[in-house]
């Protein structure tokens, strides 16, 4: 989308901009975009602010339509979009507010391996991960699930694959919602979706998905880092992946089923990609139940890849993963809709919170957090790009007050994939990464070109906005040293 945004943007403070609800007919609330002076110029370069305004027209939307600083153009909702609707006030659920890759998310594994001791083995490690973790378009996993097993997996979440030997009991506690959203109904998932998912659980996929070996370069919050087990100079592993073809098909099926639903309920939309249904309607409940099933599939998939990564490390370092202390720090979703309680006009109200390219950032004391994280807040995992850095943050009280417990999910694209490929003509992205100290392996012909560092915003600016706005606080900076991609 090459057109730029020309509508109003009113500065509220150093980190927030407003699109007033007077901007276009049908807006029920203001739009709020989190950005600094540098980021806002990039954000105005496409029509994603227009999507923020469009989302503000959804029935039952509460307070405002939000965009995190990694905002860019998406399907219906912008990527980086957050919106909460009140089902008791006609609030809707919109598949465009979740995205095609349901429960795309990130998990981080810490280790006790010092980079200084391991740097001569990093290339061997990356090659081992590339052999052991299926990645790329059409790549099947090490485990094939029949229809009955898939349905159990989608109903039980992470615990199902941990019981089958793919992980540790402690992984479940360190996963958002314990790797299970209650209320999934796998019987409503289409045979086509089941077929697509039968051999894809435990596979990385393609596009911007990755498994990355990193070194903890800098600690900003020693107390929080200690609770997470992050030590300066030690290796970590970050996994970014989602629900693969199964989740894509669930979204595709829902969009087809909901195409006439807005008209049925008298909902007027400025963009048909915002197709939606009231949360309490049969159509809305059907989508929620299938979305939850796909979300549980994605948690199982990342859990299996965690097992594969531990096995690869154990082979390379000739030491069991337990002795390498490869503990899961956290796993958090960033393409999801969940029912969560918030204070609305002094009343605790269950809202349907859409997070599309946005992640939870619950503050200290939140009852949904594992006990060990309640004193510091929820870990927030923000991957950057292959050449610069990723960040670990913790949620702050401001998130509950201003962003429905949400933070950014990554750096955010500033170039389309096509533009990134064109910009890489005559260059070797693999060599450029190696010159930065990053060993990269990709299955696809254009994987590295599409995902080159220049294709993304500077993640330091992105996390800086939410740190300064007291939404999430910086804990640690992680520098990439090895990456595998589809």
Give mean pLDDT, residues 127-151: 89
Distance CA 285, CA 92 (A): 10
Q: Return the pLDDT at 137.
A: 76
* Per-residue pLDDT band at 143 (split at 50, 70, 90): confident
Q: Is the pTM of this model over 0.85?
A: yes
Give mean pLDDT, residues 118-143: 90
Distance CA 392, CA 472 (A): 10
Neighbours of 351 (CB within 10 A): 25
Is the Cβ–Cβ distance between 297 and 153 less than 8 Å?
A: yes
Q: Out of 409, 461, 467, 470, pick the active-site residue.
A: 409
Is the confidence at residue 1, as pLDDT, over 60? no
Is the Cβ–Cβ distance between 358 and 68 less than 8 Å?
A: yes
With residue 224 as reference, give the H or E element that holds it: helix 222-228
Coil, helix or strand at residue 354: strand
Q: Return the pLDDT at 132.
A: 95
Beta 472-485 vs 439-442: how paired, if at all? parallel
Residues 6+ apart with CB under 8 A from 480: 212, 213, 214, 386, 387, 388, 389, 390, 438
Is the confidence at residue 87, as pLDDT, over 80? yes
Coil, helix or strand at residue 334: coil
| Rounded alpha-carbon distances, angstroms, from residue 153 to 166, 193, 412 | 13, 14, 31
| Rounded alpha-carbon distances, angstroms, from residue 114 to 127, 313, 317, 480 | 19, 13, 12, 14
Tokens of 15: 């980190």
Distance CA 21, CA 29 (A): 5
Residue with tokens 């923000």: 382
* Per-residue pLDDT band at 417 (split at 50, 70, 90): confident
CA-nearest of 333, 102, 315, 133 to 197 is: 102
Is the confidence at residue 394, as pLDDT, over 50? yes
Tokens of 351: 């809202």
Task: Give the N- to C-terminal CA distance of the chain in Å, as an integer.
Answer: 24
Q: Return the pLDDT at 89.
A: 97
Residues 6+ apart with CB under 8 A from 275: 76, 94, 95, 96, 255, 258, 259, 261, 262, 269
Distance CA 436, CA 479 (A): 10
Is the Cβ–Cβ distance between 392 and 329 less than 8 Å?
A: yes
pLDDT tens-place string over residues 287-317? 999 999 999 999 999 999 999 999 999 999 9
Is the Cβ–Cβ distance between 297 and 154 less than 8 Å?
A: yes
Distance CA 396, CA 320 (A): 36
Is the confidence at residue 2, as pLDDT, over 60? no
Domains delineated in the chain: 10-485 (3.90.1860.10)
Distance CA 479, CA 89 (A): 46
Is the Cβ–Cβ distance between 433 and 468 less than 8 Å?
A: no
pLDDT tens-place string over residues 186-201? 999 999 999 999 999 9
pLDDT tens-place string over residues 199-228? 999 999 988 899 999 999 999 999 999 999
Is the confidence at residue 142, as pLDDT, over 90? no
Is the Cβ–Cβ distance between 317 and 113 less than 8 Å?
A: yes
Active site residue 409: yes
pLDDT tens-place string over residues 243-275? 999 999 999 999 999 999 999 999 999 999 999
Neighbours of 371 (CB within 10 A): 7
* Per-residue pLDDT band at 415 (split at 50, 70, 90): confident
* Per-residue pLDDT band at 455 (split at 50, 70, 90): confident
Q: Return the pLDDT at 416.
A: 85
Strand partners, 76: none
């Amino acid at each position: 989308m090459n057109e730029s945004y020309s509508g109003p943007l009113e500065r509220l403070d150093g980190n927030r901009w407003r699109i007033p609800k007077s901007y276009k007919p049908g807006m029920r609330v203001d739009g709020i975009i989190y950005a600094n002076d540098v980021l806002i110029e990039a954000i105005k370069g496409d029509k994603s602010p227009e999507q923020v305004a469009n989302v503000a027209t959804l029935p039952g939307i509460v307070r405002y339509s939000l965009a995190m600083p990694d905002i860019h153009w998406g399907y219906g909702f912008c990527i980086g979009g957050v919106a909460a609707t009140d089902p008791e006030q006609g609030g809707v659920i919109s598949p465009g507010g979740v995205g095609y890759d349901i429960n795309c998310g990130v998990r981080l594994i810490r280790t006790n391996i010092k980079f200084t001791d391991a740097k001569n083995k990093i290339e061997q490690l990356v090659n081992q991960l590339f052999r052991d973790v299926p990645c790329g378009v059409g790549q099947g996993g090490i485990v094939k699930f029949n229809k009955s097993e898939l349905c159990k997996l989608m109903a039980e979440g992470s615990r199902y694959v941990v019981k089958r030997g793919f992980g540790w009991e402690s992984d479940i506690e360190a996963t958002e919602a314990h790797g299970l959203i209650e209320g999934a109904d796998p019987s409503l998932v289409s045979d086509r979706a089941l077929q697509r998912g039968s051999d894809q659980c435990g596979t990385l996929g393609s596009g911007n998905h990755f498994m990355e070996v990193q070194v903890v370069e800098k600690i900003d919050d020693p107390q929080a880092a200690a609770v997470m087990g992050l030590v300066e100079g030690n290796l970590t592993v970050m996994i970014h992946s989602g629900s693969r073809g199964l989740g894509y098909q669930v979204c595709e099926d829902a969009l087809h089923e909901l195409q006439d639903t807005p008209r049925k309920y008298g909902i007027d939309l400025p963009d048909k990609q915002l197709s939606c249904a009231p949360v309490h309607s049969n159509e809305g409940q059907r989508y929620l139940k299938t979305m939850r099933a796909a979300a549980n599939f994605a948690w199982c998939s990342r859990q299996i890849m965690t097992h594969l990564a531990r096995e690869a490390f154990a082979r390379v370092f000739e030491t069991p993963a337990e002795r390498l202390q490869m503990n899961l720090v956290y796993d958090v979703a960033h393409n999801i809709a969940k029912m969560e309680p918030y204070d609305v006009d002094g009343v605790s109200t269950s809202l349907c919170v859409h997070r599309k390219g946005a992640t939870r950032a619950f503050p200290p004391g939140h009852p949904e957090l594992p006990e060990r994280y309640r004193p510091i807040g929820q870990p927030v995992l923000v991957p950057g790009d292959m050449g610069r850095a990723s960040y670990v943050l913790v949620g702050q009280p401001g998130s509950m007050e201003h962003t429905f417990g949400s933070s950014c999910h990554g750096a955010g694209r500033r170039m389309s994939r096509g533009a990134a490929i064109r910009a890489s003509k005559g260059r070797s992205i693999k060599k450029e990464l190696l010159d930065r100290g990053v060993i990269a392996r990709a299955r696809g012909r254009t994987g590295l070109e599409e995902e080159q560092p220049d294709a993304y915003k500077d993640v330091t600016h992105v996390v800086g906005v939410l740190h300064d706005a007291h939404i999430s606080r910086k804990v640690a900076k992680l520098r990439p040293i090895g990456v595998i991609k589809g």
